[in-house]
Structure 1
């Protein structure tokens, strides 16, 4: 389906720019997320304008056909650069999309009421895009600048969680300068952690660049692999426990955050030692979600409470998924918060809300409503 020029007339429906793709290594994951949203969003209620961001950073008007952005025969979708570029235009109280091509005159694509940024990773989920939208005074779904930045950086995320009184597992941070100055000292610090360890890019998601390491011999290669995605690396001690996740949704007005029933991810037999990229997005039979998770009632209440604490600790808005380990001795150790979690129909976040009584299409509607009700600027 070829992209159509959106009507620039006074449509009574809120105009939603669905933004996806991006410059990060999670480009294709963002496209798959967009496919799910474009399929499920209520097109009778919203005027939807799909905008793709190519890997070179160009914004371009793209097809609204979900099939173009879904996984097809295990081929990852891609936003290609276009002839015309799309930019945000702000004049007075007017917020518009404008398209232009080299040598041509700019043409308006009409007003924009809210942006739904379905971007994962740096240059989209880390506060950079959120800062652009704040400067343009445009409402958008999800966390603001600070919460997005903290939620993206596994180092500072842990610092904030510890300050909020949440239990965090042992870890080491290796910066680019430290690695280049003395990689052996970095390896020595990392080797003090209990194996197995997980070596991760500090600012990446969707399990990109993560390696499970069972001995000191594998550390250097794992760190170099993580550094291909981010010069800052986090090494986390493996924690024995069940993986429990909670979906959090901002409350209306001054209400407290809402939390879903907790879910549990179980990686099934099939060549996956842990919940890696293939298990999340490619091999549909690799993992199983149990929701509500089989937990004692007091643990269920506690993990939901702690998820809301984590949401507030980073100053999140809109949505987040908070992940914990439930250890054999009954401790809840927080793993991370994801301020723009995977959002395909089979992703954990929408699945947990569906199991909690909020179906996918209604969840999208609620997120857009929250964004439209939220004031711009400092809040």
Structure 2
């Protein structure tokens, strides 16, 4: 069992990583006998885990209710999130209740935002079931929903009380979902840890095969890197922005093509390459490193170009509505070398368009 602590003063919490955690009620600390809880999951995961977890927590004398949401990024909105509030009110849950988010990034984000909002704040536990949520979305307290004009535009920073990562959940993932999670994994190596990037190049086949020892190290290393950043910049006023490598491009893709048509990790993969090309054109990044990134993303079965029906100019309106825009200036995260990145503003939009076009025509 691996344990990492997110140190945020009185809001500190543990991340626990191991196989088989969902078999034991003790994994769900700080829940205890006599507590009330509401499990939030989606239709796909309910078929796999709901009965088992309800039985487990009932035996631990936790009064547990549940709400099942539709599955998919296209349902990550205020209307669907309202189903959580309705279920809480119908079952007379008060401020002492705890929400449990069982699912990927969509369920985690919506449940966390509901927890931040319900009666002005209740506890919630993250139980991420996808690779993307285990290495990224469940850690750090970003919660929210999408708007038709922009991704994750409505939300709050609100930390969970614990994160429970059961690596056995990955065995149920479709290959496309596993690949999408690898985009966020690769991102960490590019922006923060060149040795980890090289390790990924050497161990990618074992990761795709879900080798238990390799997966445990991979997830732990990603969590360690993210925790270090979050502890220094919880609300993304500075260095936490680095974790958004590729995301400014990616959010434009997701919004343009319609939520759920491209998985978040797929859009991030293409966005990472666009950021690398932008940095190359500025003379800040070596083409040999861009090639390494492209090769690793391809081996992970991820796209390295944007949608064919989205021209370069179409990205800009979405980028201008991005959360990272400050006083009308888009903030881009650009790689400077494998393992090092910077936040840049004032980049000529023609350079961004050129980078996208160069990639799409390559």
TM-score (norm 1): 0.24
TM-score (norm 2): 0.25
Point out the structure with the larger helix share: 2
Point out the structure with the larger strand share: 1
